[in-house]
Structure 1
């Protein structure tokens, strides 16, 4: 039986040369790692990105939301793959993170499994740190710097916007949240979701495609799209899962108008950082920084928002981020050593 990926593009930096005795094992682990990463990252990150969309459209059938976000995902992946000219679906985010020269081993399978466990308990850890640091520990510093800047920028932007720019608007939203909303807001929210969802995909697809060579064939891209669409269906059928609880605790996210503004700000920040550099960053940090700044700003002028509760929720989210960072650093420093000790390599 030939290699799983035995085609002309396997040679010279393609998937793998079929002459290697362990090629099939490596390639199977590669596909397993890709699928596990897709499952764990979609489960952890997608509710953070589409959380406000899910909350404010709770009255709509899940399959309608599923068809919408799946069509955007398909368009983003196909465009990125064709536009790269070399079959790179990660939008160049992996240029500084080389594919392991010995291929994917069980060492790289551990992070997505751990991520699945953490997601089950509703812990919004950074998939960027947890997954990519295993492939390139030396990139942790640059990724952490960019992510911390993302959190700080998102926090400050939210404070300024919600405290000074749209203070009266947010008060109006709070007073009229139970009244019927204009269809214009429905259209704006779906547009903002498309904008945000596409920017998130461009940033975080690298966390999944890191498990395969930087150039993938069209058939594998179609396989990847199928996997993502199925997983999106599961997430939306479950209305976001455990991570969705974090979004639902934030003030007014079920209001389609508030959700629209959050999504536009979040997407704009991701767009700015995308243009800044190709270094991967944690979208989770940006998202929670935005929500934290918004909560503090709204607590300053909305009497119904408890300042103590706001501080407690923001602190809990920050602690979860730090917990995920500590785990990422621990894995990046200990797993390679353990792997070499066990395998004798």
Structure 2
């Protein structure tokens, strides 16, 4: 199957919207804790990981699959890409502009396979719940003393060990996120991606990554920056390792796509609640308000996804006759 114009348009729009919405959620702690470094250093580092993950996935599949099998249950549309499939990434760009962390998995993939929404939602809700509970248990019981120590020494210069660990944790998390969310972008092209288009896709990603690092994360970064101590490289490292491990577990569990946004916000929510139990600087009321606000944004994004999945195909058929 050849690559057509609307495929390229959909791919680029999806890449642009997902980089603006999801990448800051994944690399946000990395951006916050390395605000003193030149943006291009962070860009080159994450871009090199991106290139390795994409090339490895494409070659390892043996069939030119760049989505790591996440699109096995979501076939390419028999009628090809039409304007119907272009709407979700455009809507995502608009929502991102207002700082709403919607799930790109729901918003983009449900329009391709409405029947997959239930399975994706179930897995994503489990991801949120697991991340929330794990964060509370870890930060409330396992890391209580460490959290207090990190809070008291936040303004001290971190050791080189922590700096090295943070860059390792970022590579681990970034690779796991790519494996999960590349499906949201490559859904716009045939499941056997031509190598030439893979190179084109890599170039698009690298340029967009440069843009997001130049802007220091953009609007969505504000959500990360409101969380306690994320500018501390040590706290950021712990968050990244936990996030990456949870994504790895769910990746091994099944190939059904899931919302990494839900996992991320579940992890931050559990962490904030746990910290509010033993850190005086963390206000419980403000924590509850922020977590509730994030949850409402998730529900808003889910509602839009369901509306798109059910209403847009009908509208498209009605208009197309």
Same-fold status (TM-score > 0.5) = yes
CA distance in 2, matches of 1:112, 1:181: 40
Any residues of structure 2 matched to 1:189-338 within 5 Å, and which? 189-338=166-315
Tell me by how many angstroms 1:15 deviates.
3.1
Structure 1 segments of 4 or more deviating over 3 A?
none
Residue matched to 1:143:
120
User: CA offsets, 1:57-114, max 9 Å, x none?
Assistant: 0000000000000000000000000000010000000000000000000000000000
Secondary structure of the residue aligned to 2:230 is coil
Residue matched to 1:173:
150
CA distance in 1, matches of 2:137, 2:45: 32
Match of 1:99 among 76, 92, 99: 76
State which structure, 1 or 2, has the greater radius of gyration over its C-alpha atoms: 1
Secondary structure of the residue aligned to 2:74 is coil
CA distance in 1, matches of 2:28, 2:216: 9
Tell me by how many angstroms 1:334 deviates.
0.6
Q: How many residues align?
A: 321
CA distance in 1, matches of 2:132, 2:232: 21
CA distance in 2, matches of 1:39, 1:305: 35
Match of 2:130 among 134, 138, 153: 153
Question: Is 1:30 the equivalent of 2:7?
Answer: yes
- Normalised TM-score (structure 2): 1.00
CA distance in 2, matches of 1:301, 1:207: 39
CA distance in 2, matches of 1:334, 1:122: 25
Secondary structure of the residue aligned to 2:58 is helix
CA distance in 2, matches of 1:61, 1:304: 30
Tell me by how many angstroms 1:217 deviates.
1.1
User: CA offsets, 1:264-285, max 9 Å, x none?
Assistant: 0000000000000000000000
